[in-house]
Homo-oligomer: A and B are copies of this chain.
Amino acid sequence: MEKFSRSQRVAAITKNLVENPNKIINLNYFAEILSAAKSSISEDIVIVRDVLERLDAGAVETISGASGGVRFVCKISESDREDFAVKLCSVLEDKCRIIPGNFIYMTDIMYNPEIVHKAGVILASKFSELELDYVVTIETKGVPLAYEVARMLGVQLIIVRRDSRVTEGPTVSINYVSGSSKRIQSMSLSKKSMKKGSKCIFIDDFLKAGGTALGIIDLLTEFESELLGIGVLVDSIEKKKKLIDNYVSIIQYKGISDEGFAILAPSVHQK
């Protein structure tokens, strides 16, 4: 077989790393598919690492030991993050998005892969230092975003359901009080879904008072599991009082103006 050039190997390695975020890939794998010496592969990886670092576009980490290798950790530059949040605000400020009941229509945003992918990278990079077992969400609108975060962090996704299904075996259900509507609702999760003693983060599209997030914490308690963080696309600060206080968001929603459009701003991020 004809050998690959350095640039060709670099392209193949980059594709593999980027497509498998947070997954440790052994150097032997690259050496085999690219028929190159492990030492050459090591040099190739240094090139990939350097350019991603210079562009602030992710990290390539080396894990030593027998099961070691390299893994890609997603990252986004501060300016790209800011840019994304500003653009998203201006899209959502469109007056046509206000629907009866003063809700903002944002289903199209939550199901737009380009937006969801970027939002997923932003949220995932906030949690990339945690040792996680699961990314948890509740059906339906936050599912693509939670999936992207799970993919970027290389962990399993869990979707909590509003009802239980025959195809999932025994389930655990809890009731919770929605923080904004004060209605009693229920959520359920198949017992097979989660092993005991797991560490999770909760990802959703919209955070109002935080009742759903509290419900998730209760549900996780039933699985003797722990919630380590919460990430949402939009944080509604219309109602001042929140039931939870530790979460990250990408943009903030401040209510509807007298002129009838949504008031939004990028969230202030801590380093």
Contacts and interface: CB of A to CB of B under 8 A. Distances in A.
Contact of A166 (B48, B103, B107, B113): B103
A207 B116 CA distance: 27
Interface of A: 4-15, 18-20, 23, 33, 44, 47-48, 50-52, 54-55, 57-58, 99-101, 103, 105, 107-108, 111-114, 116-117, 139-140, 143-144, 147, 150-151, 154-159, 161, 166-169, 190, 192-193
Contacts of A47: 5, 7-8, 11
Nearest to A58: B15
A179 B246 CA distance: 46
A140 B113 CA distance: 17
B7 A192 contact: no
Contacts of A55: 12, 33
A255 to B, nearest CB: 16
Contacts of A167: 99, 101, 103, 105, 107
Given A8-B54, A113-B156, 4 more contacts: A9-B51, A14-B14, A108-B193, A113-B151
Copies in the complex: 2
Nearest to A99: B169
B157 A105 contact: no
B15 A18 contact: yes
B8 A51 contact: yes
A151 B121 CA distance: 14
A48 B103 CA distance: 45
15 contacts: A4-B51, A4-B54, A6-B7, A7-B7, A11-B14, A14-B14, A99-B167, A105-B190, A108-B192, A111-B147, A111-B150, A111-B156, A111-B157, A111-B158, A116-B151
Contacts of A33: 55
A155 B114 CA distance: 9
Contacts of A103: 166-167
A151 B100 CA distance: 31
5 smallest beta-carbon distances between A and B, as pairs: A113-B151, A8-B51, A111-B157, A14-B14, A99-B169
Contacts of A158: 111
A16 B121 CA distance: 14
